[in-house]
């Protein structure tokens, strides 16, 4: 329970279905106001319950003290137990991944890794410690059973809110223990349900930020984190040149960590026509700019794949999605001997970014995917 409307209504729906529901809030302890002091679980018990606290921040995230307050009030309204889990160590792993990827000129997706490592990873350990059968979230995706009896992951009913993309990395063995109760609803229906049962989060805005970047821009957060870790010596910079695809130098930037493939806004350079980031070169610290046509890519290769099906049953064709908010596109799939996924698109895709995930679909079913090289 993040304190948002989706996970709050998910808990309500599970109660209506007859489940015994336990609400869990994830504390990461990174720079946001501390909601309470909790200990690691001992003797098979979850950590101490989280007290209601005063709103101390205005961040629109999902793990702040104010979010904890909202989640606790929802749990009180639903009359379910509510626990805070201290996951600082696990979030530190995610933050280091985020920083390292940007520093390497790649575009990370910490929300996917949070699902892989924590929401549908670490939380299963806590579920086991209290003999809980399922782990549920408020993601807009659906669970179903295939003809052969296997649990399958499907797109959410609300196309505008579908979150199946960020769940591709979940281990196949966990599918049978996942519940996604809001996936069969439109977002507007979820808000009406919340209002109808008197949940105070019915009109709360959706989280739109990375939960541990509590203020400022990504590059400021990354530089601060690198300084704290001792990655940068005094006076060292990750700045470099803006260059066009022709090789012409057109300006200077403060650091490659401030850019991602496909970016157009925030470049700080005026051109007669629109320019996009088409390539980032960490070795030379150059950010390469070009026209939209130069951004197009007809193929990609992905590594570290995770499959929710037997990978030998991967179809030769299907739909591939290159970002959370991207439209799935028809493509051909092929796995090489090393397990890398090769995707050949029917039409060029714009914004293919190393570090992001490519997810394969057969219709509505999530087959799996990998991390774009």
Which residue in 258, 210, 242 sits closest to 102, CA to CA?
258
Residues 334, 121 contacting (CB under 8 angstroms): no
Residue 90: closest CA among 30, 10, 172:
30
Share in percent of the chain as helix, strand, coil (round to 5) = 30, 25, 45
| End-to-end C-alpha distance for the chain, whole angstroms | 34
- Taken as a whole, the chain contains a residue count of 373
Distance CA 339, CA 334 (A): 9
CA dist 257 and 287 (Å) reads: 10
Known catalytic residue: 111? Answer: no
Angle among Cα 170, 171, 172 to the nearest 5 degrees reads: 115
Out of 36, 63, 114, 360, which one is annotated catalytic? 114
Contacts of 182 (CB under 8 A, 6+ apart): 6, 9, 10, 13, 138, 139, 140, 156, 190
Tokens of 198: 């008197």
**Is there a catalytic annotation at residue 211?**
yes
Which of 36, 63, 211, 305 is an active site residue? 211
**What phi and psi values does residue 370 have, to the nearest 5 degrees?**
-160, -175
Which tokens sit at 373? 């090289």
Closest CA to 324 of 296, 359, 300, 294: 359
DSSP letter string over 303-330? EEEEESS-GGG--SEEEEE-STTSPPEE
* DSSP-assigned letter for residue 48: P
Helix 218-229, helix 88-103: angle, nearest 10: 110
3-state DSSP assignment of residue 288: strand
Both tokens of 281, joined, read: 């070169």
Q: Which residues are catalytically annotated?
A: 114, 211
């Amino acid at each position: 329970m993040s304190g948002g409307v989706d996970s709050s209504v998910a808990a309500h729906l599970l109660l209506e279905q007859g489940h015994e529901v336990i609400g869990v809030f994830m504390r990461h302890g990174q720079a946001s106001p501390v909601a309470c002091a909790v200990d690691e679980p001992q003797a098979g018990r979850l950590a101490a319950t989280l007290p209601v606290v005063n709103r101390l921040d205005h961040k629109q995230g999902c793990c702040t003290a104010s979010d904890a307050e909202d989640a606790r009030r929802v749990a009180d309204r639903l009359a379910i137990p509510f626990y805070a889990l201290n996951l600082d160590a696990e979030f530190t792993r995610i933050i280091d991944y985020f920083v390292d990827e940007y520093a390497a000129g790649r575009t990370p997706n910490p929300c996917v890794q949070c699902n892989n490592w924590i929401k549908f990873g670490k939380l299963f350990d806590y579920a086991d410690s209290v003999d809980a059968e399922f782990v549920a979230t408020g993601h807009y995706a659906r669970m179903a059973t295939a003809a052969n009896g296997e649990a399958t992951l499907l797109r959410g009913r609300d196309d505008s809110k579908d979150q199946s993309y960020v769940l591709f990395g979940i281990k196949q063995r966990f599918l049978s223990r996942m519940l996604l109760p809001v996936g069969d609803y439109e977002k507007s229906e979820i808000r009406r349900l919340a209002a109808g049962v008197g949940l105070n989060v019915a009109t709360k805005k959706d989280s739109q930020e990375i939960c541990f970047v509590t203020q400022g821009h990504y590059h400021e957060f990354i530089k601060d984190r690198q300084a704290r870790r001792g990655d940068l010596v005094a006076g060292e910079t990750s700045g470099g040149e803006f260059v066009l695809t022709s090789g012409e130098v057109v300006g200077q930037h403060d650091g490659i960590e401030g850019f991602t493939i496909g970016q157009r806004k925030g470049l700080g350079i005026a051109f007669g026509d629109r320019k996009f980031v088409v390539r980032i070169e960490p070795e030379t610290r150059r950010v390469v700019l070009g026209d939209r046509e130069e951004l197009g890519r007809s193929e990609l290769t992905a590594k570290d794949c995770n499959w929710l099906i037997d990978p030998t049953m991967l179809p030769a064709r299907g739909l591939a999605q290159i970002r959370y908010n991207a439209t799935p596109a028809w493509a051909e799939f092929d796995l090489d001997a090393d397990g890398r996924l090769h995707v050949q698109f029917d039409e060029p895709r714009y914004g293919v970014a190393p570090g992001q995930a490519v997810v394969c679909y057969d219709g509505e079913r999530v087959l799996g995917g990998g991390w774009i090289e």
